[in-house]
């Protein structure tokens, strides 16, 4: 059979013989031909061998089909039709094809994921090369064993969208957490999100089961998470940062300076100075400045001991700088009444909450804490 010309009549004779021994010989001969002489096969010879196997595969005993799959799994020259047939066979036959064959295309793998068994899905998740498209299809199965196998495959390409989906799923499926955090391709922002909600879940458990002050616990958990998932320093920070920092260090930032800065139209510097005075993140100050009710600004001013008169002046200047104005005296009186109603200690508690990471606060809120 390994002579220069293939004896097609002998192949046909082997195919016609239904004995196990003849079928085994047929599989061995055709597998060897595809492996050793693939480039020398004519189109007619290739087509005939493919047709013979395609017609007979379903009639082969399982052991013969397994032998054929094992022989074809690492052969890139086997016709796609044969590989796809074997890949859709029962898992005892399909496994080596699913795990190792480079002939299978993404669309064929996705089809198998959608229509075959969990065992087929796990075998695909173990492939040396798993594209982002195939990884997404595996993630959509929602099967814990399949997804955990995918996450353990360091070479699998998992898109950021799929990774975000799996991180959300890991809030209810603990077994996803460790392999997710081990992945070298986990984007930093998604890693931070995961650290925060894991900390929030730990907080909920500890507050419920132990006699511990929630504020003290929040301080400790936030410090741990910031150390593990600290955000990189911002590039291109605003020019006002340096000036605001220098002024804050001199201790001259007070209500007078805030008011004077606003009168000079330096809104950005005002925000930086207020952030340094209150020790709040710049983003939180920006939200307070844009708050149409003025209540956030009132709480901040009350917490840093800005008098009512200075708060009133700052509030009016902020409204003017924003292109608006206090609509009538009742609006102005309402915000002053609100300012007077704020207890200094309560304002400090609110500020302490605002200083925490918004990711942490959102995680606690989602847990219903």
Residues 133 and 172 in one domain: yes
**Listed residues 228, 251, 283: the one ending a domain:** 228
**Listed residues 228, 258, 293: the one ending a domain:** 228
Q: How many CA atoms does the CB half-sphere of 360 hold within 13 Å? A: 22
CA dihedral 219, 220, 225, 231 (to 10 degrees): 40
Q: What is the pLDDT of residues 327-343, one digit of tens each?
A: 567 788 889 999 999 99
pTM: 0.51
User: In the prediction, which pLDDT does 359 show?
Assistant: 59
Residues 28 and 176 in one domain: yes
Question: Which DSSP string do the residues of 285-311 spell out, in sequence order?
Answer: HHHHHH-TT-HHHHHHHHHTT--HHHH
- Specify if 61 maps to a domain: yes
User: In the prediction, which pLDDT does 354 show?
Assistant: 81
Residues 248 and 308 in one domain: yes
Counting Cβ atoms within 10 Å, is residue 112 exposed (0-12), middle (13-18) or buried (19+)? buried
Residues 196 and 267 in one domain: no
Residues 48 and 159 in one domain: yes
The band of 122, judged by pLDDT with boundaries at 50, 70 and 90, is very high
How many structural domains comprise the chain?
Answer: 3
Is the pLDDT at 127 greater than 80, yes or no?
A: yes
The band of 150, judged by pLDDT with boundaries at 50, 70 and 90, is very high
The band of 275, judged by pLDDT with boundaries at 50, 70 and 90, is confident
Distance CA 353, CA 303 (A): 12
| Three-state SS at 254 | coil
Angle, helix 43-56 to helix 8-16, in steps of 10 degrees: 0
Angle, helix 282-290 to helix 295-303, in steps of 10 degrees: 130
Q: What is the pLDDT of residues 194-245, one digit of tens each?
A: 766 666 655 665 556 656 676 765 666 666 566 555 544 333 334 445 555 5
Q: Which two tokens stand for residue 66?
A: 């397994």
Residues 77 and 25 in one domain: yes
The C-alpha angle 323, 324, 330, rounded to 5 degrees, equals 165
Of 266 and 78, the one with more pLDDT: 78
- Specify if 197 maps to a domain: yes
- Specify if 1 maps to a domain: no
Range of the structural domain that residue 30 is part of: 8-182
Residues 354 and 250 in one domain: yes
Residues 161 and 269 in one domain: no
Residues 40 and 18 in one domain: yes
């Amino acid at each position: 059979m390994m002579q220069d010309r293939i004896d097609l009549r002998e192949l046909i004779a082997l195919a016609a013989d239904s004995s196990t021994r003849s079928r085994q010989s047929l599989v061995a001969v055709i597998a060897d031909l595809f492996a050793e002489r693939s480039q020398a096969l004519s189109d007619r010879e290739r087509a005939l061998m493919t047709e013979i196997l395609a017609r007979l595969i379903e009639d082969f005993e399982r052991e013969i089909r397994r032998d054929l799959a094992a022989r074809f799994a690492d052969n890139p020259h086997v016709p796609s039709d044969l590989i796809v047939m074997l890949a859709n066979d029962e898992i005892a036959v399909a496994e080596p094809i699913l795990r190792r064959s480079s002939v299978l295309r993404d669309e064929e793998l996705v089809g198998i994921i959608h229509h075959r068994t969990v065992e087929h899905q796990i075998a695909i998740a173990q492939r040396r090369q798993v594209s982002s498209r195939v990884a997404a299809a595996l993630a959509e199965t929602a099967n814990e064993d399949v997804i955990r196998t995918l996450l353990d495959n360091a070479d699998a390409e998992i898109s950021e969208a799929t990774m975000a989906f799996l991180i959300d799923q890991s809030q209810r499926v603990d077994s996803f957490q460790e392999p997710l955090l081990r992945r070298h391709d986990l984007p930093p922002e998604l890693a931070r999100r995961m650290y925060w909600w894991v900390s929030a879940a730990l907080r909920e458990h500890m507050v419920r089961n132990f006699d511990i002050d929630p504020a003290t616990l929040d301080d400790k958990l936030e410090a741990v998470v910031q150390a593990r998932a600290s955000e990189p320093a911002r590039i291109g920070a605003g020019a006002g940062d340096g000036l605001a920092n220098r002024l804050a260090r001199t201790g001259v930032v007070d209500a007078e300076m805030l008011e004077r800065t606003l009168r000079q139209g330096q809104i950005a510097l005002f925000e930086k100075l207020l952030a340094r005075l209150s020790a709040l993140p710049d983003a939180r100050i920006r939200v307070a400045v844009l708050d149409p009710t003025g209540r956030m600004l009132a709480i901040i001013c009350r917490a840093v001991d800005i008098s009512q008169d200075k708060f009133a002046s700052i509030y009016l200047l902020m409204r003017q700088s924003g292109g608006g104005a206090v609509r009538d005296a009742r609006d102005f009186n309402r915000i002053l009444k609100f300012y007077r109603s704020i207890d200094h200690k309560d304002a400090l508690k609110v500020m302490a909450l605002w200083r925490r990471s918004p990711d942490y606060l959102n995680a606690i809120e989602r847990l219903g804490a």
